[in-house]
Structure 1
Amino acid sequence: MATARRWTLRAEHTNYTVRLSPDGPWAELEAWGPTGVEDGPSALDWSRRTHFITPADAAPAEYLPYGLRPFTGSELIAGRPGDQRGVWWEFDGAEEGEEGSLRLAFTDHVLGLRTVLCYEVVPGTDVILRWTELTATRGELRLERLDSAAVNIPVTGAARLTCLTGQWSQEFQRTQLDLPRGTFTMGSTQGVPGHAYAPWLAMQDGADGTAAGGGPAYGIALEWSGNWHITAEAEPGGLVRVRAGRVPHEGAVLLAPGETLTTPRLACAFSPDGLDGLSRVWHRYERRLSGERLHRPRKVLYNSWEATGFDVDAAGQLELAKAAADIGAELFVVDDGWFTGRTDDTGGLGDWYPDPAAFPQGFGRFVDDIRGLGLDFGLWVEPEAISPGSRLYAEHPEWTYRIEDRPARLVRNQLLLDLGRTDVQDFVIGTLDRLLTAYDISYLKWDMNRPPTERGRAGTPPDARLDLDAEHVAGYLRVLDHLRATHPDVTVEGCAGGGARIEHATVARTDVVWPSDNTAPLDRLAIQYGFLHAHAPHVMSSWVTDAPGIFDPRPRSLAFRFVNAMCGVLGIGADLRAWSPDERAEAAGWIARYKDVRETIHQGDVHLLGTPGDPTYGVQYDDPRAGRTVVAALGTGRLDGAPLLPGRPDRLRLCGLDPEARYHDAGSDRTYSGAHLLHHGLPFTWSEGHDAELVVLRRR
């Protein structure tokens, strides 16, 4: 809805109001928050007194170029090649769509640049998508910065920022910091979002006492599979302004006359219910990204990697498959090591043919034998990688990233294919089509284990207009789109050395993602806690394994490992041949319980109950239509047999229940009032032999 030069976008419970600034030719945020927030004076308005800065530098602008905003950070830096930089534009009209979309156009006639700020409400959610379209209307342009959007947050004190940080095997660590003044930035130039930071940020007003995650929360997430940045600036006028976008590998992008560049989409979310409520906004959005595939059950898988490593042969894999089928697994995935030349990580990548020595009766017979056990069959691939000793490299060395007259650096004993080339894309598509057509494969795990280093293209003239990062992303997405269209019944798992490439472009084109290579119980608990802040449980693949802790080696029971893994999409990666009959029987029981509740886990409303640093931590899943609540409760503290509180059990307060309703736990045959569960919580007494429970409550 527009009033003069003011527009309001209406999401499910959120309004977002933009106006044309009275101070200059730019759009600025007037209000963002719960429905009706725009009725009243804007909390982002300012005194108009500026000293040593311009009005554009002080404004809560939605997007401004260097030129108009010279001092406090701009979203766009553009100019003609070899000429001075700077954009000075004029407002060129607004276009409103019927279903919550808005386009605001600005034109610099001297430079020859048309900039369109794009907005779109995602139906049924509190997410608004923002992106920018940049068109060269006259000559060639050089874009040194091309962010997707700027997001303004009014604060009365230091801004509380929550981000997800880490490293390989320690991804998605929830990290919080206060930003009273200055700049915080994070990102990646590794060709993927990376292990160090997720392209996701939550913002709150620190004056609201948000240490525990309460208070209204604003969030952004960048939909981009390549290089990126998110930068938050606490500005002198009491505003936090966050800019986000892709980062060109070459330092700039050249835009040809008449060409339009569309930036990645930035998803912007709001919840009045703090970080916990914001997580549910993101979960609902990712369910929309999954579409109808959300309702396909994520099958319990067994993956053989941690049991066998590269030592893959038909007999050993079938032995594991029989054990997996006996405990109730529904899918068997052969990981790395199944193809010719892959006895270790020094060879084989690129030559994607089953090793005849490992499968003497043929790979097709092996797949049929797996399926004869009642299991679906899946396969690991790393389509972007190539081994220097492979036949593919001998035939096409020019397909790898390389800089002429410079050595090619090996990472993990491999090189990386230039997936921005259409011939490389066609090779990958042809390879995957061949495998999926020749064999009865219903699951594909796509891995990527090294960043691009010497990022050049063979045979390219020095004056070529390259945008290698964007071209690789486009090639990656083209292949995933092909898999979706041509093999719609194949489940695709996204992985990049664990969680290095998890963002909304990947989530929209895969069925599950692999958050981390670290499967140890308490380490994984912290990873999943952070992951669920940003991503939905139906995309979170999690395994039960024998792995000891890397960062937290305290032992935990088999029950703990199962309940923890059941918080997402359950998998098993342990060496079942070494498990006792009692352990296998216990596992079968947990798998049966998981199958009974997985629909609630994958599609229910999620509440994170405490943190992994608490002695009792839990995840609650609610399905109001079925009247069912599932609680995964985990004891994370000392397990020495002593009660956590002398003489009393520990308690886990639940959220979001009807205080006047009654809830029955068939496992303990207890009935609780909603008020009791909200105020006192579920009781748990942990001990060395009892450190996890799965509680299923039925509303009566």
Structure 2
Amino acid sequence: MSIYIDDEKRLFHLQGKNTSYVMQVVRDGYLAHLYWGKRVHTYRGSNKIIFMDRGFSPNPDASDRTFSLDTLPQEYPAYGNGDFRTPSYQLQLENGSTITDLRYSDYRVYKGKPKLNELPSTYAEDENEVETLEILLEDQLLELKITLTYSIYQDLDVITRSVHFHNQGSQSLKLLRALSANVDFRDDEFELMTLYGAHNNEKNIVRRKIVPGVQMVDSCRGTSSPQQAPFLSLVRKETNEEQGEVYAFNLVYSGNFTAQVQVDQYHNSRISIGINPFDFSWLLDPKETFQTPEVVMVYTDQGLGKMSETFHELYRTNLCRGPFRDKIRPIRVNNWEATYFDFNAEKIEQLAKEAKQVGIEMFVLDDGWFGKRDDDNRSLGDWIVDRRKLPNGLVDLANRIRALGLEFGLWFEPEMVSIDSDLYRNHPDWCLHVPDRPHTLGRNQLVLDLSREEVCDYIIDAISNILASVPITYVKWDMNRHLTDIGSAALPSDRQRETAHRYILGLYKVLEEITSRFPNVLFESCSSGGGRFDAGMLYYMPQTWTSDNTDAMCRLNIQYGTSLVYPPITMGAHVSSVPNHQVGRITPLDTRGYVAMAGNFGYELDLTAITEEEKEVIKQQISLYKKIRPLIQFGKFYRIFSPFDGNEAAWNFVSEDQSETVISYFKILSQPAAPLRTIKCKGLNPDYVYQNVETGELFGGDELMNVGITLPRIKQDFLSMFWRFKKA
């Protein structure tokens, strides 16, 4: 049992493996937050809330000037009743007012974890691994009921939260804000960590001390975005990879979000996260409901490394789904940087032959195979093979590639439409648009209106027709622009601000249907790289193309930052040609290989245009990756040196049984008079003796972790070093 309830005190204590989360109903039904942190056996109220008269803090009870919602740490705060901090939700009544008053009504505890209606979420394969608490809050005047759902994983320091609104009254209510979680801390001695970036520069780590006021990350771009990720964590000043408190929040959602910390006048900190209220509303007619996305909350006092380990284990085993969750992922080559739009069947077959010779397992045909797609100005939405390039069709090409012993994969961008396309000419109203306003183009394309059922059905049918007729075992699902002109021809005026969220619900419906129809196809999500690398997409597609930027030095930062939340098995990582197509840098082939081997490994270059010496190196890389692939994809990942802190990066992987490790070190620029460095492994068994696979040298696990390996002094830019140890 992990949820303990004292009915007399109306106290709720959620206990994880190493964490406790405590709430209590106080006064006239207000749900207060008391504690979240390191596990305590029994909570007896040592950190009592001190009530006192505070200036400008109004009182719901005129007889008691010490009690105010403005200073009460709350679980799901409302607007307008004296709490001036950011509320978790806000509704507009038919009379135009926005005041509600939620009070505690009831609770329910059960084993297992509910599936969210129309939304992705983490899950439990065995009901005994998770226990769920539902707390019912009610506004009796409106007959509005809100259910706060908390699920706690028995063996992980994870709590998931979501909120369900149910309008049981007779009047229509309009949700203006509906966040998924709120946590009120009673101090502000924290630093805030978030992930920011841009196209080709995703998942940079930023850490800064919080100050009075609001510090926020968000997206109003229609997606989870490369600019900011739906993640934040509060960490103590002394927190590093190995030690210190971390309170982390990650939203399982792929659309507009907000995540913020607000420090009030008394140095309390309020974390809130959920759907971005900007340009959002949702009409709740009588008897209608609304479900918020899930938030994954992780606590640890063992530093950022433990936080990441927890996210990695949860997402790999209890978020990703389907047969590929536990399967070794294939080594791929993608033709995009080799050919772009300029290819034919013979060119593709020749690339595939070269791929087979070096040991690659799958060939992926990228953009340009459909309609009249000679550039990115046309044909999106017309998912019919271009017989000029592939005169015998996709089936013939796929069979020719499979005859070589390779699997065949295909690129799609199903959510988009080109103005120069048959689909747009036949259905110009199927794109997101606002009447009488000109289109805003991105990459010369428009976004299909996935809030419309007929549009979703078209995508499902068009993609299914290809997958059912061609022997395809992999799909790269791309999305290369954000949402503008957000309006739907199918929605009435009072529901137009529901469009962005309905788009995401439509996307999830499409993904659920297609991935269920084709369970033996490995789907990889992409949005010009990592523009939609989020937990919501991983529920449907167990890996994501991490970035369109394949430069090895840039990828050090991108993959390192992504690993803060997401496991390496979810990261697509390829070796590309030099000079690199994104930044023009020339890096050694071995360095490019070792960086890409820290994820789902593959290549994105013209194998017919490289030297025999380079082909031999690639053969060796592929041979090595096949040996270490189970360790990379299913082992534990440890960060050692951060590229955000200096001129080097390092990490190591350790097998589940601690019998094997691989260690990678990278130096970006060679420097004069540089100090000698030692690299210390992590995660090994201190009692094991490990043998260097290459040299035969023997070292104890304790020595490799505590003493470390001296790095040789090599005068070279973009240097990489690699070690592989096995238990002797």
1:249 touches 1:469 (CA, 8 Å); kept in 2? no
Determine which of 9, 12, 15 is the counterpart of 1:10: 15
Q: Which of the residues 586, 609, 633 maps onto 2:665?
A: 633
> Alpha-carbon deviation of 1:339?
0.9
Aligned counterpart, 1:296 = 327
Aligned residue for 1:534, secondary structure, equals coil
What secondary structure sits across from 2:468 in the alignment?
helix
2:669·2:717 contact (CA, 8 Å) conserved in 1?
no
1:508 CA displacement? 1.1
| CA spacing shift, 1:355–1:549, aligned 2, 3 Å | closer
Percent identity for Structure 1 against Structure 2: 28
Q: 1:248 to 1:33 in 2, by over 3 A?
A: closer
SS in 2 for 1:350: coil
1:31 maps to which of 28, 35, 40 = 35
- Whole-Å Cα distance in 2 between the matches of residues 216 and 105 of structure 1? 31
**What's the secondary structure of 2:202's corresponding residue?**
coil
Structure 1 residue corresponding to 2:518, chosen from 484, 487, 491 = 487
Deviations 1:642-684 (A, max 9, x none): 7842xx4x22111232333322111122111223222221232
The Cα of 1:484 is off from its aligned counterpart by: 2.2
Q: CA deviation at 1:90?
A: 2.2
Equivalent position of 1:348 in the other structure: 379
The residue number in structure 2 matching 1:90 is 103
Residue 65 of structure 1 aligns with an amino acid whose one-letter code is: A
Contact kept in structure 2, 1:614 and 1:637, CA below 8 Å: no
1:653 matched residue in structure 2: 680
Q: Distance in 2 between matches of 1:74 and 1:38?
A: 30
> 2:136 corresponds to which residue?
105
Mark the runs of 5 or more structure 2 residues left unpaired by the alignment: 59-67, 112-129
2:148 matched to 1:148? Answer: no
1-structure distance, mates of 2:45, 2:495: 51
Residue 578 in structure 1 maps to residue 578 in structure 2: no
Corresponding residue number in structure 2 for 1:398: 429
d(CA) in 1 for partners of 2:355 and 2:391? 23
1:509–1:122: structure 2 CA closer, same or farther, 3 Å change rule?
farther
Question: Match for 2:239 among 170, 190, 210?
Answer: 210
2:289 is the alignment partner of 1:260? yes
Show the counterpart of 1:563: 594
Structure 1: tracts of 5 or more residues without a match: none
Structure 2 matches for 1:297-696, cutoff 5 A?
A: 297-458=328-489, 460-464=491-495, 467-548=498-579, 555-612=586-643, 613-625=645-657, 627-638=659-670, 644-645=674-675, 648=676, 650-685=677-712, 686-688=714-716, 691-696=719-724
Distance of aligned partners of 1:448 and 1:36 in 2 relative to their CA distance in 1, 3 Å threshold? same
1:689 CA drift (Å): 8.4
Q: Which amino acid in the other structure matches residue 235 of structure 1?
A: D
Determine if contact 2:283/2:494 at 8 Å carries over to the other structure: no
Cα deviation digits, residues 508-531 of structure 1 (max 9, x gap): 110210121111111111000100
Partner-residue secondary structure (3-state), 1:58: coil
Q: Distance in 2 between matches of 1:38 and 1:518?
A: 50
Are 2:81 and 1:68 equivalent residues in the alignment?
yes
Residue equivalent to 1:122: 153
Superposition map of 1:265-276 within 5 A: 265-276=294-305
Equivalent position amino acid for 1:697 in 2: F
Which residue does the alignment assign to 2:197?
A: 166
1:398 and 1:623 map into 2 onto residues whose CA distance is 53
Q: What SS is found at the alignment partner of 2:721? A: strand
Retained in 1: the 8 A contact 2:89–2:179? yes
Question: Is the CA contact (8 Å cut-off) linking 2:18 and 2:39 kept in structure 1?
Answer: yes
TM-score (norm 2): 0.91
Give the Cα separation in 1 of the matches to 2:490 and 2:132: 43
Contact 2:573 2:599 in 1 (8 A): yes
Following superposition, the deviation at residue 17 of structure 1 comes to 1.8
Does the aligned pair in 1 maintain the 2:550–2:582 contact within 8 Å?
no
| Matched position secondary structure for 2:547 | coil
Q: Judging changes above 3 Å, is the alpha-carbon distance between structure 1 residues 397 and 610 closer, same or farther for their aligned structure 2 residues? A: same
Q: Distance in 2 between matches of 1:618 and 1:597?
A: 17
Closer, same or farther in 2 for the Cα pair 1:181/1:40, shift >3 Å?
A: farther
Q: C-alpha offsets along residues 606-626 of structure 1, whole Å, 9 cap, x if unaligned?
A: 111110144442121111426
- The 2-side partners of 1:191 and 1:167 are apart by 15
1:699 aligns with 2:727: yes
The secondary structure found in structure 2 opposite 1:368 is helix
Deviates more, 1:393-402 or 1:34-43: 34-43
Q: Determine if contact 1:248/1:467 at 8 Å carries over to the other structure.
A: no
Between the aligned partners of 2:441 and 2:54, the Cα distance in structure 1 is: 53
Task: Letter of the 1:290 partner, please give it.
Answer: C
- Give the number of equivalent residue pairs: 691
Change (3 A) 1:549 1:369: closer
Q: TM-score normalized by structure 1?
A: 0.94
Larger deviation, residues 430-439 vs 605-614: 605-614
2:280–2:497 Cα contact (<8 Å) kept: no
Contact 1:155–1:205 (Cα < 8 Å) also in 2: no
- Take 2:570 and 2:656, find their aligned partners in 1: how far apart are those partners? 21
* Mapped partners of 1:263, 1:431: distance in 2: 30
Deviation digits for residues 502-549 of structure 1, max 9, x if unmatched?
221111110210121111111111000100001011100001002546
**1:23 Cα deviation after fit:** 4.5
Give the aligned partner of residue 221 of structure 1: 250
Separation in 1, partners of 2:109, 2:445? 50
Within 2, Cα distance between the matches of 1:464 and 1:216?
43
Write the distance in 1 (CA, Å) between the matches of 2:574 and 2:406: 17
Of 544-553 and 227-236, the range deviating more from structure 2: 544-553
SS of the equivalent of 1:577 reads: coil
Label 1:295 to 1:462 Cα distance change in 2 as closer, same or farther (>3 A): closer
Residues 153, 203 of structure 1: 8 Å contact kept: no
Distance 2:530 2:300 in 1: 26
Name the SS for the 2:357 alignment partner.
helix
3-state SS, counterpart of residue 424 of structure 2: helix
